[in-house]
Amino acid sequence: MRIVGLTGGIASGKSTVSNLFKANGIPVVDADVVARNVLKKGSGGWKRVVAAFGEEILLPSREVDRPKLGQVVFSSDSKRQLLNKLMAPYISTGIFMEILKQWAKGAKVIVVDIPLLFEVKMDKWTKPIVVVYVNEETQLKRLMERDGLSEEDARNRVMAQMSLDLKRSKADIVIDNNGGLNDLNQQFNKVLSEIRRPLTWTEFWRSRQGAFSVLGLVTSGFFVCKQLNINT
């Protein structure tokens, strides 16, 4: 199985690109969705986060008040690191389970959309790595417009991540999303044909089909050897 890593900065356009992959029949595992699920009321992640940050981060429904927790962690490095530490095991297990589900369904190529792919060192599990790049001005403008944030809050969120220039230098494929959606679509089509190229042998053995082929080979090898032993 080919596990494509999709990353970038906050509001650089990862979800927009993810939607293009989905529209073309490529399954996407979204780390933000996994992170949301592990913070649902009553879950293990929720309990640890409430124990560490207190009941003041809860809504009357006792679900986490996400904008409030965002305010807390995006204005303090130490609090963000604490949240990351508490949630990391739940998020990585959740992502692994989603990948496993796709493997069991027989998917040959999947995309894993992880904003913090490099920061949490999950880049070693994905190849190729696609970085959706924008310059800081476009990033801040799109972030402020989409989430209704002040410039200061938007800058805090951008600063909470590895710089996009550094991420770009670590990419196998860069999508420059400074232009409009037509431009993005054209670049996307090239990326799509790149990631749909035939699997390498290593990727093939990692797929469900490859694993069953190994099992089939081992089983028939066993019976052939047994037969040879009987006949000699």
Ligand X SMILES: Nc1ncnc2c1ncn2[C@@H]1O[C@H](COP(=O)(O)OP(=O)(O)OP(=O)(O)O)[C@@H](O)[C@H]1O
Alpha-carbon distance values, 169 to 85, 158, 187, 190 (Å) = 26, 18, 18, 19
* Residue 111 binds ligand X, judged by CB under 6 A: no
- Residue 190 binds which one of ligand COD, ligand X, none, with CB within 5 to 8 A depending on kind? none
1/20 with CB nearer ligand X: 20
161 binds ligand COD (CB under 6 A): yes
Q: Is 115 in the site for ligand X (CB under 6 A)?
A: yes
Cis amide prior to 198 (ω within 30 degrees): no
Q: Tell me: does residue 108 bind ligand X (CB under 6 A).
A: no
Burial of 60 (0-12, 13-18, 19+ CB in 10 A): exposed
Could you tell which of ligand COD, ligand X, none binds residue 12, using a CB distance below 5 to 8 A set by kind?
A: ligand X
Among 1, 3, 29, 35, binds ligand COD (CB under 6 A): 35
Q: Binding to ligand X by residue 7, rule CB under 6 A?
A: no
Residue 65 near residue 57, CB atoms below 8 Å: yes
Please pick, from the candidates 26, 177, 191, 207, the single residue that binds ligand X as defined by CB under 6 A.
Answer: 177
Shortest distance, CB of residue 77 to ligand COD, whole angstroms?
A: 10
Q: Cβ of 18: how many Cβ atoms within 10 Å? A: 20
114 interface partner picked from ligand X, ligand COD, none, CB below 5 to 8 A per type: ligand COD
**Contact between 84 and ligand COD per CB under 6 A:** yes
The residue within the footprint of ligand X, chosen from 8, 45, 70, 94 (CB under 6 A), is: 8
Q: Which stretch binds ligand COD (CB under 6 A): 27-35, 181-189, 205-213, 215-223?
A: 27-35
Distance in Å, CB of 39 to ligand X, minimum: 15
By CB under 6 A, tell whether 175 contacts ligand COD: no
Radius of gyration of the chain (CA): 21
Provide the binding-site residues for ligand COD, judged by CB under 6 A: 10, 31-32, 35, 39, 66-67, 69-70, 73, 80, 83-84, 87, 91, 114-116, 160-161
